[in-house]
Amino acid sequence: MMIALKAIQASFTYSSNHVFFQTRRITTYTKNPILCLSKSNDSESDSDPEPEGDTRKQDLLAQIAMLQAQKIMENIESQMQAFKESQELNMQEIEMNEDQLAEFEDQMEKERNEGLFFKNLTEKKPIDTAKAMEEAEKVKEVTKEKVGSKARRNLYLALITVLAVGIADSLVTGSDWRKVAVLGAILVALFSQFIYEQTVLSEEEKTEKNDENK
């Protein structure tokens, strides 16, 4: 009898524990969907502000594009206005030139009829040979004085010497190459000018000798 009671008690204990465990599993299972739903709702609520931000960005970009288009249209209109004004000025100049040409043609016709046109073509003013020779001599003298003066020649030689010494000193002391380049450029320019003036002077002297021989 005692053995039968213990067996019944053990089976009752097992069944009660099994029911409690199943109930706990069901409770846990019912709680988890609520948590999942709450998490999904939270994620959706967090992702909702993003479309608003995108919409604001799109609105700003649209406003910027509209402003740029407005500026472009204003520039085009100003350019068209300037083109119209320049075209009007050109038309006025063309009309003025046409009027002047018409007046000139009328004047030519009048002079042709009066015989003055051909008369003016055939008449020539006499050339004053003596005065022309005198002016040529003056030009030669002025050129000779400017180009062939000893003071000017000595000045060129002195500057060329100073620059040559400066370049040599810079090369020896190892100065900056830019300084040497600048001094060299000045030296070349002075030397070229000196050679040019000496060439002009020699040509003038040859011309004078030829004139004297004639």
Torsion sign across C-alpha atoms 96, 101, 106, 107: positive
CA atoms of 26 and 146, how far apart (whole Å) = 121
**Which phi and psi (to 5°) does residue 174 adopt?**
70, 40
User: With the CA atoms of 55, 60, 66 and 70 taken in that order, what torsion angle do they form, in degrees rounded to the nearest 10?
Assistant: 170
* Predicted local distance difference test score (pLDDT) of residue 120: 59
* Predicted local distance difference test score (pLDDT) of residue 54: 75
* Predicted local distance difference test score (pLDDT) of residue 132: 61
* Predicted local distance difference test score (pLDDT) of residue 213: 67
Taking the chain (214 residues) in runs of 10, the rounded mean pLDDT of each run is 45 45 44 44 48 73 75 76 80 84 82 65 55 66 59 80 84 79 84 83 74 64
Token representation of residue 97: 């030139």
CA atoms of 59 and 164, how far apart (whole Å) = 72
Q: Which residue has the tokens 């931000």?
A: 53
- Do 89 and 81 meet the contact criterion of CB atoms below 8 Å apart? no
* Predicted local distance difference test score (pLDDT) of residue 19: 43
* Predicted local distance difference test score (pLDDT) of residue 14: 45
Query: At what angle are helices 2-47 and 49-114 packed, to 10 degrees?
Result: 20
* Predicted local distance difference test score (pLDDT) of residue 55: 78
Find, among 143, 132, 138, the residue nearest to 205 by Cα.
143
